[in-house]
């Protein structure tokens, strides 16, 4: 048995203290799960996503325990989908405060795709990578969002370098089948913006192998063809891209119903 002698002369069983502390943490976890069950699963989730009741039920849970990161994230999420970015960020910051590993990459994704605070998104992703390593959020790698952020800041060389690095990683680690058509689209755009039209076409063609009716890729590839003198081919591809675009063959990310993605064309 491990004993510690205190200044007052009393002996304390430190092993028991550790066991008691562990037991307290487990009890807290059980308590938190009950709060989530009561106020989220059987509370907020019974109401419409954007309703006052959704928020009020979560607030009741937070009144009982304000350290539950999941409740803060669920409070923030509907606000981002309503374009209330500044209001929602206050709550997602709380989620990160109480569970950084679970929610910081999600916050960085929100900054990139929703709030469009690209330098903050880059900083959040870079910090997360240093702390926890390379991974994915919302179907894409952290480097994808970093590259996209640089693209939106008009820092095209940096964007291309990040996309190239991520492309090489995916190809070497997982093979060609792992490549994502949206990743390839933006990789191609980073070349297009630097007037590397032939290089852009080569990447766009890889995207079209995966998603043959991807209208944005067809439209930008058509422009590349026009720039290198292949005008007739460009005209035909432009027409095809317009048809596919009007038929809904556009960027098919899950969150595209809430936010228009960079370089996404509006088809009316």
pLDDT per residue over 58-68, tens digit each? Answer: 999 999 999 99
28 pLDDT band (50/70/90 cuts)?
Answer: confident
Contacts of 20 (CB under 8 A, 6+ apart): none
pTM: 0.88
Q: At what angle do helices 181-192 and 197-210 cross, to 10 degrees?
A: 170
Asked if residue 201 has pLDDT above 70, the reply is yes
The answer to whether 201 and 221 have CB atoms below 8 angstroms apart is yes
- Taking only Cα atoms into account, the Rg of the chain, rounded to an integer number of angstroms, comes to 25
Asked if residue 10 has pLDDT above 80, the reply is no
C-alpha 203 chain-centroid distance: 23
Asked if residue 14 has pLDDT above 50, the reply is no
Sign of the four-CA dihedral 138, 141, 143, 147: negative
27 pLDDT band (50/70/90 cuts)?
Answer: low
Q: Give the number of residues written for the chain.
A: 268
Domains of the chain, CATH where assigned: 34-98 (1.25.40), 180-268 (1.25.40.10)
Q: What is the pLDDT of residues 131-187, one digit of tens each?
A: 999 999 999 999 999 999 999 999 999 999 999 999 999 999 999 888 999 999 999
The answer to whether 11 and 43 have CB atoms below 8 angstroms apart is no
Q: What share of the chain is helix, strand, coil (3-state, %, to 5)?
A: 70, 5, 25
């Amino acid at each position: 048995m491990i004993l510690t002698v205190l200044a007052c002369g009393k002996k304390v069983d430190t092993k028991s203290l550790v066991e008691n502390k562990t037991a307290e943490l487990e009890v807290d976890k059980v308590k938190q799960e009950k709060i989530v069950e009561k106020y989220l699963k059987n509370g907020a989730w019974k109401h419409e996503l954007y309703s006052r009741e959704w928020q009020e039920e979560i607030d009741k849970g937070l009144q009982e325990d304000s350290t539950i990161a999941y409740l803060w994230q669920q409070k923030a999420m509907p606000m981002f989908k309503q374009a209330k970015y500044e209001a929602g960020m206050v709550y997602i910051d709380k989620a990160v405060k109480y569970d950084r590993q679970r929610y910081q990459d999600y916050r960085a994704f929100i900054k990139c795709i929703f709030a469009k605070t690209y330098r903050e998104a880059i900083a959040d992703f870079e910090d997360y990578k240093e702390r926890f390593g390379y991974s994915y959020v919302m179907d894409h790698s952290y480097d994808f969002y970093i590259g996209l952020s640089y693209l939106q800041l008009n820092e095209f060389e940096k964007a291309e370098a990040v996309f190239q690095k991520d492309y090489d990683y995916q190809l070497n680690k997982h093979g060609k089948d792992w490549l994502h058509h949206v990743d390839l689209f933006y990789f191609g755009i980073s070349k297009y913006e630097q007037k590397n039209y032939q290089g852009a076409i080569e990447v766009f063609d890889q995207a079209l192998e995966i998603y043959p009716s991807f209208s944005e890729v067809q439209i930008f590839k058509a422009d590349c063809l026009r720039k290198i003198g292949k005008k007739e081919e460009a005209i035909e591809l432009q027409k095809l891209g317009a048809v596919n675009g009007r038929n809904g063959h556009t960027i098919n990310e899950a969150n595209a119903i809430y936010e228009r993605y960079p370089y996404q064309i509006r088809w009316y």
